[in-house]
Structure 1
């Protein structure tokens, strides 16, 4: 029953802790990310697809 009597204090304590935590986490600087430079020739390679099938003749195209 004492918990119900002190619910306002519990709520205010939770709000204060949440505020302090948010300010503390905002004060930590973000980690620096290392940027890597890719080889320009590797970045511009184009995928090559080879099709090894016989072509349809005009009669076979007309039939389809």
Structure 2
């Protein structure tokens, strides 16, 4: 009930925050996106291809069941 008594003050604070954040966001410059197209000759030859190797131990049935029951 206390909020209802001070609804005008809450509204004024909310509007002042919205206006000030609008001015702050307008002062931030926009990001400049660059297009990095893949060089088709380089990709086709496969000279610089990233290779990811994932090594890990396999889970036992008990570990799988324990992991499934957590979520």
Task: State the structure with more CA Rg.
Answer: 1
> Higher RCO, 1 or 2 (CA under 8 Å, sep at least 6)?
2
